[in-house]
A and B are shown apart, each in its own frame.
Chain A
Amino acid sequence: MAKTILTVDDSPSIRQMVSFTLKGAGYSVTEAVDGQDGLDKARAGNFNLIFTDQNMPRLDGLSLIKQLRGLPQYRSVPILMLTTESSDTMKSQGRAAGATGWLVKPFDPQKLLEVVRKVIG
């Protein structure tokens, strides 16, 4: 059965691009339009991996990660930030919030897939 990935981003262009890349590699992908939508969908599902943007309406990426890490089913699931933010300060905050890794946009689809394979196979 295909591994499941939730991608959380307020930009439809980015969601399309991430979904296209991941679906092409055989993963099952669910999209969420902001942090709150991501949290709701994560609670309702049981994803193997979550990608999240940082700057989003309602709930930002770091807050989403903190909330997800408080849920028993997402305590150890890989959560990757995929964002335009590239400062070391933000990366440190991501790490402290419980992010598994940090990918800076624009992303290379091949590198994205390499990371996905590394963290969930």
Chain B
Amino acid sequence: MQQRFEEVLAPNLYYDRNFDMDAVKILPGEYYVSTRELLMVTVLGSCVGACIRDRISGIGGINHFMLPDDKRDEDSRFGRSMRYGDYAMEILINQLLKLGARRAHLEAKVFGGGNVLPGFKNHVVGERNARFVMDYLATEGVPVVAKDLLGNHPRKVYFFPATGRVLVKKLRSLHNDTIIERELSYSETLRQSRVEGDVELFS
């Protein structure tokens, strides 16, 4: 039986000496939410990351995901890929609401969706992820107050949820293939995983 893939709370907390504050590093398939002053950092290739915060309380969070590539449903709005994307976004929003954020006060900044994975077919991966996140937020009525999507370079994103400030660094030269390898590994895990939740009827 296929293993189920779940988005997880990022476990990589550290102290960032450049910004002189606590920080958390978010890898593909992870998200993080916080009520306190905390720097959230992620590096996006063809994946997308949504920085969402309550503009009144400053409660904020970030995710880092891509849609599973499933040729069976292509880009059907209710197909497997889109349902997974909905889930990746909803789990972040739910965690924010649990911390006390108000849905009506949410705003988003979105990044990523670059054309960075090798291979002819992969040029649409980032574009598909970028289109999804914009469509999702429009449907949910969450305003997108800033975005930096598509293009040919990975991005390092620094999100300060308490203020909503985001710094984006375009990585025009890469010292190694870590970003691409991580995304390919995440993509392969998604492809091989069951992206449907369990069903249980109580007797």
Known pairs A13-B136, A103-B200, A106-B86 / 5 extra A-B pairs, C-beta < 8 Å: A20-B78, A84-B87, A101-B201, A105-B197, A115-B199
Is the CB–CB distance between B200 and A101 below 8 Å?
Answer: yes
Q: Which of A40-59 contact B (CB under 8 A)?
A: 55-57
Which of B6, B78, B90 has the most C-beta atoms of chain A within 10 angstroms of its own C-beta?
B90
Count how many pairs of residues, one from A and one from B, have CB atoms less than 8 Å apart in the complex: 81
Residue A102 lies at the interface, judged by CB distance under 8 Å to chain B: yes
Contact at B202–A99, with CB atoms within 8 Å? yes
Say yes or no: A57-B195 contact (C-beta < 8 A), given A12-B140, A14-B90: no
Chain B 177-203 interface residues, beta-carbon cutoff 8 Å to A: 195-202
A69 at interface, CB cutoff 8 A: no
Tell me whether B124 is interfacial, beta carbon within 8 Å. no
Bound together, the chains give a CA A86 to CA B6 distance in angstroms of 10
**Please, what's the 1-or-0 string for A86-121, where 1 marks a CB less than 8 Å from any CB in chain B?**
100001001100011111111111010001001100
Task: Collect the chain B residues with CB atoms within 8 Å of residue A12's CB.
Answer: 139-141
Asked if A16 is at the interface (CB within 8 A of a chain B CB), the reply is yes
Which residues from B are CB-within-8-Å of A21? 78
CA distance A27 to B83 in the complex (A): 21
| Measured CA separation A20–B77 after assembly (Å) | 10
> In the complex the two chains form, is A17's CB within 8 Å of B78's CB?
yes
Inside 8 A of A105's CB, which chain B residues have their CB? 86-87, 90, 197
Minimum distance in angstroms from B195 CB to a CB of chain A? 6
How far is B6's CA from A100's CA once the two chains are assembled, in angstroms? 24
- A13 touching B140 by the CB < 8 A rule? yes
With contacts A13-B139, A55-B98 taken as known, whether A109 is within 8 angstroms of B197 at the C-beta atoms is no
On whether A101 and B78 interact (CB within 8 A), knowing A13-B140, A86-B197, A106-B197, the answer reads no
Q: List 26 A-B contacts (CB under 8 A).
A: A10-B103, A11-B90, A12-B140, A13-B136, A13-B140, A14-B90, A16-B77, A16-B139, A17-B83, A57-B97, A57-B102, A57-B103, A84-B90, A84-B94, A86-B198, A100-B201, A102-B198, A102-B199, A103-B197, A103-B198, A103-B200, A104-B199, A105-B86, A106-B197, A107-B196, A118-B201
Residues of B within 8 A of A11 (CB): 86, 90, 93, 140
